[in-house]
Amino acid sequence: MSELTPAIQPRCPICGALDAQQVLDRGPYRVVRCQRCQLQYAHPMPTPTDLMAYYQDLTYFEGSATEGYADYAGMEQVLRPLAERRLRQIETRTDGPGRVLDFGCAGGFFLDQARRHGWQIAGVELSQPMAERAAALLQIPIATNLARLTDPHGTFDVITLWEVIEHLPDPLAVLAQLRFWLKPGGWLALSTPNTGHWQALAAPDRGRAIAPQPTSCIWPSQPCVACWHKLDLPLCKYGVAAHGPTCLVGSTA
Ligand SMILES: [Zn+2]
């Protein structure tokens, strides 16, 4: 682990600390760990423009040997049962199917399963080609950013982000925006890779599944919890699944 000089010392996007140490050197950028909250994040952070360009290329979702997905559509048999488990988790905390927004809905498998459970669905997907796939599957419009979401604030009982926040350069800002769309008492549910997972601890430079590319922030449990407190969302459940943590958070909005 090498020291970063004060001249290139980055600011932690969650706690704001100027106290990072390098974990990995990935060529064009480094992965650093905040010494205060343990968040790992990219330095320099990719810009929103960089990321948007990245996700418009379908090779991120198919045929990618080193980054993204080898075959996202081919993962349907895995993703649908995963969606079922997540829906069961959510439905133990809600009064029954309501309205759900999946932010970063990719090809729409989670939303398709949710609709089969009786949920009214909406999706946001930043990748235009994946948004088109989801729209074709679900036969509903899929917004390519929050500004294009036509549903009014306070609409959703549940907002989900499955393996999304690790890709966001400013996750707190996005989560803070999303809570405006929650109904009072609504739920925010998400999952993200976990740097506290034994595979990540054993081989941090080999964990592609744990640190997918391009990655902005990789979260151990502590910053996740700190994040919710910053948003003034009371933590209702926090669990670490085999592949990473899953957080379910209630809103007081
Ligand atoms: Zn920090």
Cα of 138 vs centre of ligand 1, distance in Å, is 39
Q: What is the dihedral of CA 15, 146, 58, 108, to 10 degrees?
A: 100
Cα of 215 vs centre of ligand 1, distance in Å, is 16
Q: State residue 228's pLDDT score.
A: 67
Average pLDDT over residues 20-36: 83
Average pLDDT over residues 53-57: 70
Distance between CA 31 and CA 101 in Å, rounded?
31
Q: What percent of the chain stands above pLDDT 90?
A: 28
Cα of 40 vs centre of ligand 1, distance in Å, is 8
Average pLDDT over residues 14-23: 88
198 vs 37, which has greater pLDDT? Answer: 37
Cα of 53 vs centre of ligand 1, distance in Å, is 27
Cα of 10 vs centre of ligand 1, distance in Å, is 10
Q: Are strands 217-218 and 99-103 parallel, antiparallel or unpaired?
A: unpaired
Mean of the per-residue pLDDT values for the chain?
78
Cα of 88 vs centre of ligand 1, distance in Å, is 32
Contact 101, 152 (CB under 8 A): no
Radius of gyration over every alpha carbon of the chain, rounded to an integer in angstroms:
18
Cα of 155 vs centre of ligand 1, distance in Å, is 32
Task: Name the 3-class secondary structure at 149.
Answer: coil
Cα of 249 vs centre of ligand 1, distance in Å, is 20
Cα of 14 vs centre of ligand 1, distance in Å, is 5
Cα of 158 vs centre of ligand 1, distance in Å, is 27
CATH 3.40.190.10, applies to 6-250 = no
When pLDDT is cut at 50, 70 and 90, the band that residue 150 belongs to is: very high
Which residue in 175, 197, 198 sits closest to 251, CA to CA? 175
Distance between CA 16 and CA 7 in Å, rounded?
16
DSSP code per residue over 8-34: GPPPPTTT--S-EEEEEE-SSSEEEEE
Q: Is the pLDDT at 139 greater than 80, yes or no? A: yes
Residues with CB under 5 A from ligand 1 (ion): 12, 14-15, 17, 34, 36-37, 39
Q: State residue 239's pLDDT score.
A: 58
Q: State residue 226's pLDDT score.
A: 66
Distance between CA 123 and CA 142 in Å, rounded?
5
Average pLDDT over residues 142-159: 94
When pLDDT is cut at 50, 70 and 90, the band that residue 8 belongs to is: low
Q: State residue 237's pLDDT score.
A: 59
Number of H helices, E strands in the chain: 7, 10
Task: Name the 3-class secondary structure at 41.
Answer: strand
Q: Is the pLDDT at 184 greater than 50, yes or no? A: yes
When pLDDT is cut at 50, 70 and 90, the band that residue 41 belongs to is: confident
Cα of 91 vs centre of ligand 1, distance in Å, is 33
Span 198-251, pLDDT tens digits: 666 666 555 444 444 556 676 666 666 666 667 666 555 555 554 555 666 766
Q: Is the pLDDT at 6 greater than 80, yes or no? A: no
Cα of 172 vs centre of ligand 1, distance in Å, is 12
Domain boundaries, the chain: 6-250
227 vs 165, which has greater pLDDT? Answer: 165
Distance between CA 21 and CA 35 in Å, rounded?
7
Distance between CA 51 and CA 71 in Å, rounded?
20
Cα of 46 vs centre of ligand 1, distance in Å, is 18
Contacts for 195-198 with beta carbons within 8 Å, 24 or more apart? 195/38, 195/40, 195/219, 195/220, 196/220, 196/221, 196/240, 197/240, 197/243, 197/244
Q: State residue 120's pLDDT score.
A: 98
Span 64-105, pLDDT tens digits: 545 556 667 777 888 899 899 889 888 888 888 999 999 999
AA identity, residue 85: R
Q: State residue 212's pLDDT score.
A: 45
Length of the chain measured in residues: 253
Cα of 216 vs centre of ligand 1, distance in Å, is 13
Q: State residue 209's pLDDT score.
A: 40
Would you tell me how many other CB atoms lie within 10 Å of the CB of residue 53? Answer: 11
Contact 172, 14 (CB under 8 A): yes
Cα of 39 vs centre of ligand 1, distance in Å, is 6
- Locus of tokens 């600011």: 11
